[in-house]
């Protein structure tokens, strides 16, 4: 070839491939960004909807539980009841079971006595089926204990006091026109749905004596002290609530109960019990 007409070199095929590839990628990247933004917006809206629905569902569940408790215990509509259902509530509603429900309320009126009440239930079927278990505790102080014992005939309710792990009371036995104070320690227990107070120790004039010595000294009068005292509480609670134990603590008496799941739907189980 002559120098007057130089031959142009052929284009490098690899270079053309690289250039054409870069040109194709750039618009693709530009088009991808709007989709990412749209996806983020959708995720944000879904999260907002989830949390909004969660809050609404929790409000409905807690309000329904409060209404049930208020009706079953004949509480004033404005009585404060705290309800706690741990964990996300929407999945539990979808499954039809509330895994754990905690309820508490102070100064609950129970037929002449006020008490602090707490309830703990597991696997609560929202359709009214059985739960795996539910327990309650009822706590009263000394003044409320005296109010409770005032309903027991012949018991000196004004003298009863908390002296953990027992209770104490004073009986005045009249002998030859004289009143002799007899102090007694009483151990509480649960039996047949009642609270039972059993004499544990005795004191006369500050000195501890045995039951036999008290009988020898006072004869038949000693039976006034040496007896179990049954305290019926069935008329204060729904029939589905069964007393299982009683404990005396430093400043309170705590009664433990089991709750039958029939209370959720059975009107008979929801009704108050009766006392002799």
DSSP collapsed to 3 states, 120-170:
EEEEEECCCCCCCEEEEEEEECHHHHHHHHCCCCCCCHHHCEEECCEEEEE
Q: Which of 30, 253, 5, 59 minimizes the C-alpha distance to 137?
A: 253
DSSP code, position 239: T
Same domain, 14 and 82: yes
| Whole-number CA gyration radius for the chain | 37
Same domain, 86 and 205: no
Q: Are 101 and 118 in contact (CB under 8 A)?
A: no
Same domain, 46 and 163: no
Per-residue tokens: 210: 């045995």
Count the domains in the chain: 2
Residue 2 in any domain: the answer is: no
Question: Can you tell me the distance from the alpha carbon of 191 to that of 261, in angstroms, rounded to the nearest whole number?
Answer: 21
Tens digit of pLDDT at every position of the chain (276 positions): 445 545 555 445 444 444 444 444 445 555 555 655 555 555 555 555 555 678 888 888 899 889 888 887 778 888 999 999 999 988 888 888 999 999 999 999 988 899 999 999 999 988 877 899 999 999 999 999 999 999 999 999 999 999 999 999 999 988 777 888 999 999 999 999 999 999 999 999 889 999 999 999 888 889 989 999 999 999 998 899 999 999 999 899 999 999 999 888 888 998 889 998
Give the range of the structural domain holding residue 46, as residue numbers without chain letter.
Answer: 10-95
Residue 4 in any domain: the answer is: no
Whole-Å CA distances, 50 to 41, 53, 155: 14, 5, 59
Residue 142 in any domain: the answer is: yes
Same domain, 15 and 47: yes
Q: 164: Cβ–Cβ under 8 A, 6 or more apart, which residues?
A: 248, 249, 250
Same domain, 60 and 193: no
């Amino acid at each position: 070839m002559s120098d007057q007409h130089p031959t142009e070199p052929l284009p490098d095929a690899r270079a053309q491939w690289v250039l054409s590839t870069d040109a194709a990628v750039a618009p693709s990247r530009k088009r991808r960004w709007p989709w990412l933004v749209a996806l983020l917006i959708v995720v944000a809206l879904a999260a907002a909807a989830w949390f909004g629905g969660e809050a609404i569902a929790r409000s409905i569940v807690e309000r329904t539980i409060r209404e049930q408790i208020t009706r079953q215990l004949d509480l004033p509509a404005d009585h404060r009841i705290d309800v706690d259902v741990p964990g996300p509530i929407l999945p539990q509603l979808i499954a039809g079971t509330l895994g754990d429900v905690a309820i508490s309320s102070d100064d609950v009126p129970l037929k002449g006595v006020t008490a602090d009440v707490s309830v703990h239930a597991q696997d609560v079927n929202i359709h009214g089926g059985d739960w795996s278990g539910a327990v309650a505790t009822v706590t009263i102080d000394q003044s409320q204990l005296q109010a409770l014992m005032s309903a027991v005939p012949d018991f000196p309710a004004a003298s009863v006091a908390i002296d953990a792990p027992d209770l104490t009371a004073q009986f005045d036995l009249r002998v030859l026109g004289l009143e002799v104070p007899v102090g007694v320690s009483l151990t509480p227990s649960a039996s047949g749905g009642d609270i039972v107070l059993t004499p544990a120790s005795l004191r006369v004039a500050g000195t501890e004596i045995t039951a036999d010595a008290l009988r020898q000294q006072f004869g038949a009068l000693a039976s006034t002290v040496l007896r179990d005292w049954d305290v019926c509480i069935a008329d204060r609670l729904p029939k589905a609530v069964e007393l299982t134990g009683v404990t005396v603590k430093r400043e309170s008496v705590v009664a433990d109960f089991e709750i039958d799941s029939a209370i959720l739907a059975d009107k008979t189980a929801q009704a108050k019990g009766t006392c002799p």
